[in-house]
Amino acid sequence: MMIAPVREDTTVTRLARRTNPWEMAVEQFNAAADKIKLSDNMREILGNCKRELTVNFPVKLSDGKVHVFTGHRVHHNVNRGPAKGGIRYHPDVTLDEVKALAMWMTWKCAMMGIPFGGGKGGVACDPKGERSGRPMTSRELENLTRRYTTEIEILIGPDRDVPAPDVNTTPQIMAWIMDTYSMHKGHTISSVVTGKPVALGGSLVRNEATALGIRMVIEQAARHLDMSLEDARVVIQGYGNAGAFAASLMHEIGARVIAVSDSRGGVVNTDGLDPSAIERHKRETGSVMDLKGADNLTNAELLEVPCDILIPAALEDQITATNAPRIQTKIIAEAANGPTTPEADRILHDKGVFVIPDILANAGGVTVSYFEWVQDLQSFFWDEAEIKRKLLAIMSRAFEDVVDLSERNHVDNRTAALMLAISRVAEATQMRGIYP
Ligand code: NAD
pLDDT the model gives residue 12: 36
- 367 C-beta closer than 6 A to ligand 1: no
Reference 302, options 362, 232, 233; nearest CA is 233
Handedness of CA 135, 365, 329, 409 (dihedral sign): negative
pLDDT the model gives residue 8: 34
Q: What is the position in ligand 1's atom list of the atom closest to the CA of 243? A: 26
| DSSP track, 157-217 | BTTTEEEEE-TT--HHHHHHHHHHHHHHHTS--GGG-SS--GGGTPPTTHHHHHHHHHHHH
Say how many Å lie between the CA of residue 239 and the centre of ligand 1: 7
Say how many Å lie between the CA of residue 237 and the centre of ligand 1: 9
pLDDT the model gives residue 276: 97
H-run or E-run covering 100: helix 95-112
| DSSP track, 29-95 | HHHHHHHTT--HHHHHHHTS-SEEEEEEEEEE-TTS-EEEEEEEEEEEE-TTSSEEEEEEE-TT--H
Q: Closest residue (by CA) to atom 43 of ligand 1?
A: 362
- What's phi and psi for 339, nearest 5 deg? -75, -20
Q: What is the position in ligand 1's atom list of the atom closest to the CA of 170? A: 3
Q: What is the position in ligand 1's atom list of the atom closest to the CA of 165? A: 41
Q: Out of 99, 108, 120, 196, which one is annotated catalytic? A: 120
The pLDDT averaged over each successive group of 10 residues in the chain (436 residues) is 37 54 98 98 98 98 97 98 98 98 98 98 97 96 98 98 98 98 98 98 98 98 98 98 98 98 97 98 97 98 98 97 98 98 97 98 98 98 98 98 97 98 98 96
- 244 C-beta closer than 6 A to ligand 1: no
- 313 C-beta closer than 6 A to ligand 1: yes
Handedness of CA 302, 91, 14, 25 (dihedral sign): positive
128 catalytic per annotation:
no
- 298 C-beta closer than 6 A to ligand 1: no
Say how many Å lie between the CA of residue 389 and the centre of ligand 1: 26
Handedness of CA 168, 365, 420, 217 (dihedral sign): positive
pLDDT the model gives residue 286: 94
- How far apart CA 194 and CA 163 sit, in angstroms, is 6
pLDDT the model gives residue 18: 75
Say how many Å lie between the CA of residue 166 and the centre of ligand 1: 7
Say how many Å lie between the CA of residue 227 and the centre of ligand 1: 27
Q: Which residues of 289-307 are buried (b: 16+ CB within 10 A; e: fewer)?
A: bebeebbbbbbbbbbbbeb
- 262 C-beta closer than 6 A to ligand 1: yes
Neighbour tally for 13: CB within 10 Å? 11
- How far apart CA 5 and CA 305 sit, in angstroms, is 9
